[in-house]
């Protein structure tokens, strides 16, 4: 079925510290503030990909706690799974993939991030169950 649309699956982590601040990265490739994460590799589980991506981008080892949202970029066909996580080892640091690292309050998340990415972290701070949302890469649909 060559005309079947293809989607990619990405994962991201809402790593929350003891002060209630959430880890964010300023990506080296586009300069945008986002939750740490990336595209799953074909042969890895969702949890393994999440842990790998966060470690590559921040230096932290995390434990996924729960799914907090599913987000689809309608323009690019990317489905993102976002998990609330706890850091278990390491310390957050800049990497080749992250120009900056910061622990942000909800207000700072809203100020620094595009709405399509800020909502992922804000949803993770709520205990309402997983959110399901669509966006165009910048704004929610």
How far apart are the C-alpha atoms of 132 and 109, rounded to whole Å?
Answer: 19
Residues ≥6 apart with Cβ < 8 Å to 43: none
In the set 100, 108, 111, 114, the catalytic residue is 100
Q: Is 44 in the active site?
A: no
Over its C-alpha atoms, the chain yields an Rg (Å, rounded) of: 14
Distances (CA, A) of 78 to 9, 12, 68, 95, 135: 6, 12, 17, 24, 10
Of the candidates 80, 52, 60, the residue with the CA atom closest to the CA atom of residue 16 = 60
**Catalytic sites, residue numbers:** 100
């Amino acid at each position: 079925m060559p005309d079947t649309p293809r989607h990619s699956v990405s994962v991201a982590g809402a790593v929350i510290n003891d002060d209630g601040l959430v880890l964010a990265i300023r990506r080296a490739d586009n300069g945008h503030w986002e939750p740490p994460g990336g595209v799953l590799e074909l042969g890895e589980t969702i949890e393994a990909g999440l842990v790998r991506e966060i470690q590559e981008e921040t230096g932290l080892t995390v434990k996924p706690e729960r799914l907090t949202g599913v987000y689809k970029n309608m323009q690019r066909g990317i489905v993102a799974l976002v998990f609330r996580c706890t850091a278990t080892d390491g310390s957050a640091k800049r990497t080749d993939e992250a120009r900056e690292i910061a622990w942000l309050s909800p207000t700072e998340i809203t100020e620094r991030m595009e709405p399509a990415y800020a909502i992922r972290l804000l949803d993770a701070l709520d205990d309402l169950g997983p959110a399901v949302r669509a966006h165009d890469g910048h704004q929610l649909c």
